[in-house]
Amino acid sequence: MGSPERIREVARRVARFAGEGHQLVVVPSAMAGETNRLLALAREIHPEPTARELDVIASTGEQVSIGLLALALQQLGVRARSYTGWQVPILTDASFGKARILAIEERNIREDLEAGFVVIVAGFQGIDDDRNITTLGRGGSDTTGVALAAALKADECQIYTDVDGVYTADPRIVPDARRLDTITFEEMLEAASLGSKVLQIRSVEFAGKYQVKMRVLSSFTDVSSTDMGTLITFEEDENMEQAIISNVAHNRDEAKITVLGVPDRPGIAFSILGPIAEANIDVDMIIQNASTEGMTDFSFTVHRNEYQRAMKILESKVKSQINAKGVVGDDRIAKVSIVGIGMRTHAGIAAKMFEALAKEGINIQMISTSEIKTSVVVDEKYMELAVRVLHRVFELEKPPIQEKMKP
Amino acid sequence: MGSPERIREVARRVARFAGEGHQLVVVPSAMAGETNRLLALAREIHPEPTARELDVIASTGEQVSIGLLALALQQLGVRARSYTGWQVPILTDASFGKARILAIEERNIREDLEAGFVVIVAGFQGIDDDRNITTLGRGGSDTTGVALAAALKADECQIYTDVDGVYTADPRIVPDARRLDTITFEEMLEAASLGSKVLQIRSVEFAGKYQVKMRVLSSFTDVSSTDMGTLITFEEDENMEQAIISNVAHNRDEAKITVLGVPDRPGIAFSILGPIAEANIDVDMIIQNASTEGMTDFSFTVHRNEYQRAMKILESKVKSQINAKGVVGDDRIAKVSIVGIGMRTHAGIAAKMFEALAKEGINIQMISTSEIKTSVVVDEKYMELAVRVLHRVFELEKPPIQEKMKP
C-alpha cells in the first residue's frame, strides 16, 4: 500500500468482494518505504540495533496500515475491524527479525467474520511466549496471509503484488514470456528459491505445508477487473497436459568460491563449510569434482553480499588448515534455471538445456539439479541471453495444449 | 523527543541517573510532529475516523520512541528494555482517545528494575478489557509517568518539558517572574486548570490522588545540569513562610455568553445549560446575578472554539423556550487568576486584587472564586497589564522569606 489513494483503492477492492458475500480477512503490508524509514531511524540511533527493539519499531508500519485500511473500509460503509499481531494473537518463536509462526488463535477473527466484519490483520508480526513483539522478516506479510488462510481453512489466499501473476520468465528479459494460469506448488517453491521475486519462499513453504491455495494477482489492475492472475495449485493430475517446463528462473545474487587442490578425504566438506556456517553465511550450490590423484576442487556459492567475508574466512582460517592449494572466487556470475514437474517423467531435459547453451557459446561453470529443476551457473554477462535461449528452446511462449483448446 | 539527536540527549541524561545507582522507568513521548502526522493521515482516509482505529494508528508514535530510546541507551552501554502499553499491561477503560488508567500490572517492570534494566514504557497508551488499544489523549504521556510512579511507589516522577519549571507568572508577560522551587499540589492543579500549560491537568489530578511527588524540569538544559526545576509538594506544613499567592495565571481560550432577562425561577439554569451539555460543550465559569423584579441575567464561559456553536444553540433552541430578552456574547475576553493556598488563612486578598485592577482602570466583567484562587474575566486587551499589575502588587518577584534566608 503506497499512499492514501492506494489504501482507498485496496478498500474499494475489498468492499467489492465483501459485497459479493465473501468472508474476508485482509493482511496489508506497511505503506511503501515505511519499513525502510523505520529501520534507517533505528540505525541512526544504533549502528547495530538489538533485534528485540528493532522489531518493536519495525512492527509499527503494519500497525498504521491496518488502522488506515479499516478507516478506508468504514468510509465505504463496510464494517471492518483491525487486529495487530498480538491482538489475534499470532504466536511465533523468539527469533526476532525472522520469527516463524507457531500458532494462530483464530477464534476472535472467526467470531468477527460470522458477525459480518471484514477483519484486517497486521502482517509481518507476532508475539513470542514472553509477549515480546516479533517480526517475520521481509515478505512476512505474505506468510501471515497464508498462515491465516490455513488457520481459518480459507477457500483461497490471494496475494496482491506489483506483478499480475507468475510468468514463464521475467518479461523484462523475454518479451514474449507468458503468464501462467496455474503453477504447481512445487514449481513455485523452486522458482521462488531460484530467484523469482513474485512470492517469498517462506510463504510458499507455508502454503505447501498446510495445502493453502494461493493466487498471485496484481494490486494495480482496475478494482472491477475479473483477472484471475496465477493460481498455485496442488492438483497436478487435473493438468494432464501440463507443460514439461513451467518457467525459466534467474538470479545474480550469488558469488562462486572454489577451494583448489583439496585432499579428497572424509570430513573435507565439513572442514571447509563448517567455518562458513559458523559465520552465519548461507551456502547454496555445493559441488565437489571427482578426484584425481587424491586431490579435488571444492566449489560452492554464497550470497554476493557475503562473498568478501567468506573469502576472508577461507584464506585466513581454512586454507592452511586443510592444506589446500588455493582459493579462487568470482562474484560476476548468474544462476539460470529451468523448472517443471514434467522433468520427473521426461528424460533428456537437462541435456537439451546444456545443448542449447553450448550452441550459443555459453560456458557452464557449475550445475545443480533436483527432481524438478536444473540450474547452471554462467558468466553474468550471458544471463539474459541464456534465459531467452531456454525460453525459446522449451517453447514456453506457447500455452500447453489443453489450455490452447479452451474456447 | 524531537529528533534522533534529541533521543540521544535523553539517553545520556537517563544513563547519568542510572550510573548514579537509581532504578529508572522512562516514559518517552512520540517524536515531535509524529502524532499530528499520524492523525492527519487518518483524517485523509476518513474525515471522521472511528476512535478505535484512530488509537491503533496514533499509538504507534510512542511505540517507535520506546524502541529508539532503548537502542540509544544500549548504544551507551546501559541495559534497557522497552514496553508498549499492552506489554506492561496498562489497563484502561474503553474510552478511545481519552481513556483513563484503571490499573497497572507492574510485576514485570519491577523484575526488570531489580535485574538492573532501565525500563522504557510507551506513554499515552493502554488496553481495555477486550485487548483493544486505547490512548489517553493529549498529554497522556505525563499521566502514564505519574501512574507508573504511583504503581511502583517511586521516590519522584520527573516531568521533562520545554520549560524549566513553574513560574509566578508567564515570563513572556512578566519579565521578573520568578521560578518556584516548590508549589503545592492544590496550587498546581488550580494553575493547570486556569491556563498554565506546564502540566496537563489530568496528570496533576493523578499525582494528587496517589500522592506522587512530581518535579517539572527542562529537557533542554545541559545533561549534566543539577538544576532541580519545580517540585510539586504535598507537605504544606513544612513551608511555614509560604507566600500567600503562588502565581498569576491567565488564558484567553474562553468566550463569555450572557442570557439577558431570564425569569428567575427554579430550573432556569438547567434550561439554559442542559442543551449546552447535550452538545458536549464544556462550561467553565457560571454566574447568575441577583434578580430584580423576578428577572435576572445568566452568564457563563465556554471554550472559544465552541463559542459560535453555543450561541447558535441558545438563539435557536433556548431563547424562546425560556422567554429570555436576548443572548449576547463576547469572545474577546481573558481570564486572569491569582492562585495560592495562603488565601485560605489570609483575608482581603480578593479585595486587594480588585483594587489593583481598578487603579489601572481595568473593568472586571465576571468573578469566580474558590478556596485558593480568585479569577476575573476582563477585556482581552487588558490581559497582559492585569497579569503584570497583580504580579507586582503581590510582590511575586520576591522569594518568600524562608527561601531568602537560605545561603
ipTM: 0.80
**Nearest CB to B66: which of A50, A56, A82?**
A56
Test B56 with A82 for CB contact under 8 angstroms.
Answer: yes
Residues of A in contact with B67 (CB under 8 A): 42, 53-54, 56-57
Pick among B50, B56, B134 to test the A interface (most A CBs inside 10 A): B56
Could you tell me how many CB contacts below 8 A there are between chain A and chain B?
103
Residues of chain B with pLDDT under 50: 240, 403-407
Other CB atoms within 10 A of residue A17 CB: 15
Residues of B in contact with A49 (CB under 8 A): 71
**Nearest CB to B56: which of A4, A59, A66?**
A66
The residue of chain B with its CA nearest to that of A9 is: B45
Domain with residue B132: its CATH number is 3.40.1160.10
Residue B253 falls within a domain, yes or no? no
B271 min Cα distance to partner chain A (Å)? 37
Distance CA B172, CA B69 (A): 33
Test B57 with A50 for CB contact under 8 angstroms.
Answer: no
Test A8 with B67 for CB contact under 8 angstroms.
Answer: no
- Residue-by-residue DSSP string for A190-205: HHHHTT--SS-HHHHH
Is B214:B204 a contact under the CB 8 Å cutoff? Answer: yes
Residues of A in contact with B84 (CB under 8 A): 56, 133
Residues of B at the A interface (Cβ-Cβ below 8 Å)?
A: 4, 7-8, 38, 41-42, 44-46, 49-50, 52-54, 56-57, 59-60, 63-64, 66-68, 70-72, 74-75, 81-82, 84, 86-87, 131-133
The structural domain count of chain A equals 1
State residue B237's pLDDT score: 52
The residue of chain A with its CA nearest to that of B88 is: A131
Residues of A in contact with B74 (CB under 8 A): 46, 50, 53
Using alpha carbons, list the distances in angstroms from residue B393 to A287, A407, B105, B341, B396.
93, 97, 49, 17, 8
Residues of A in contact with B57 (CB under 8 A): 63-64, 67-68
How do beta strands A283-288 and A295-303 pair? antiparallel
Residue B103 falls within a domain, yes or no? yes
Is A15:A78 a contact under the CB 8 Å cutoff? Answer: yes
**Nearest CB to B72: which of A46, A81, A84?**
A46
Test A45 with B68 for CB contact under 8 angstroms.
Answer: yes
The residue of chain B with its CA nearest to that of A75 is: B46
Taking only the tens of pLDDT, chain A with its 407 residues reads 778 899 999 999 999 999 999 999 999 999 989 999 999 999 999 999 999 999 999 999 999 999 999 999 999 999 999 999 999 999 999 999 989 999 999 999 999 999 999 999 999 999 999 999 999 977 789 999 999 999 999 999 999 988 889 999 999 999 999 999 999 998 999 988 887 778 888 888 889 889 999 999 988 887 777 888 999 988 655 554 567 899 999 999 999 999 999 888 878 888 899 999 888 888 888 887 777 788 888 899 999 999 999 999 999 989 999 989 999 999 999 999 999 988 888 878 888 999 999 999 999 988 888 888 999 999 999 999 999 999 999 999 998 765 444 44
Rounded to 5°, the CA angle A206-A209-A213 comes to: 75
Residues of A at the B interface (Cβ-Cβ below 8 Å)?
A: 4, 7-8, 38, 41-42, 44-46, 49-50, 52-54, 56-57, 59-60, 63-64, 66-68, 70-72, 74-75, 81-82, 84, 86-87, 131-133
A354 min Cα distance to partner chain B (Å)? 53
Is B122:B160 a contact under the CB 8 Å cutoff? Answer: no
Residue B181 falls within a domain, yes or no? no
State residue A405's pLDDT score: 44
Test B41 with A4 for CB contact under 8 angstroms.
Answer: yes
Dihedral (Cα; B359, B361, B363, B364), 10-degree rounding: -20
**Which of A200, A221, A78 lies closest to A144, judged by CA?**
A200
Residue A112 falls within a domain, yes or no? yes
A42: cell is: 533505528
Test B8 with A67 for CB contact under 8 angstroms.
Answer: no
Residue B141 falls within a domain, yes or no? yes
State residue B127's pLDDT score: 97
Place of cell 545474480: A252
**Nearest CB to B68: which of A4, A41, A84?**
A41
The residue of chain B with its CA nearest to that of A76 is: B46
End-to-end CA distance of chain B: 36
The H-or-E segment that residue A303 falls in is strand A295-303
Q: Burial of A320 by CB count in 10 Å (0-12 exposed, 13-18 middle, 19+ buried)?
A: exposed
**Nearest CB to B86: which of A50, A72, A86?**
A86
State residue A402's pLDDT score: 55
Test B45 with A7 for CB contact under 8 angstroms.
Answer: yes
Test A82 with B46 for CB contact under 8 angstroms.
Answer: no
Test B7 with A45 for CB contact under 8 angstroms.
Answer: yes
Residue A212 falls within a domain, yes or no? yes
Pick among A10, A41, A45 to test the B interface (most B CBs inside 10 A): A45
Residues of B in contact with A53 (CB under 8 A): 67-68, 70-71, 74, 82
Distance CA B369, CA B285 (A): 10
pTM for the full predicted model: 0.81
Test A75 with B42 for CB contact under 8 angstroms.
Answer: no
Test A71 with B87 for CB contact under 8 angstroms.
Answer: no
Test A87 with B131 for CB contact under 8 angstroms.
Answer: yes
Test B57 with A67 for CB contact under 8 angstroms.
Answer: yes
Residue A79 falls within a domain, yes or no? yes
Domain that holds residue B79: 1-154
State residue B407's pLDDT score: 43
- Residue-by-residue DSSP string for B15-67: HHHHHTT---EE---PPTTHHHHHHHHHHHH-SS--HHHHHHHHTHHHHHHHH
Pick among B48, B57, B90 to test the A interface (most A CBs inside 10 A): B57
> Up-side HSE of residue B203: CA atoms within 13 Å toward CB?
28
Residues of B in contact with A72 (CB under 8 A): 45-46
Test A56 with B70 for CB contact under 8 angstroms.
Answer: yes
Distance CA B349, CA B337 (A): 12
Test B57 with A72 for CB contact under 8 angstroms.
Answer: no
Residue B115 falls within a domain, yes or no? yes
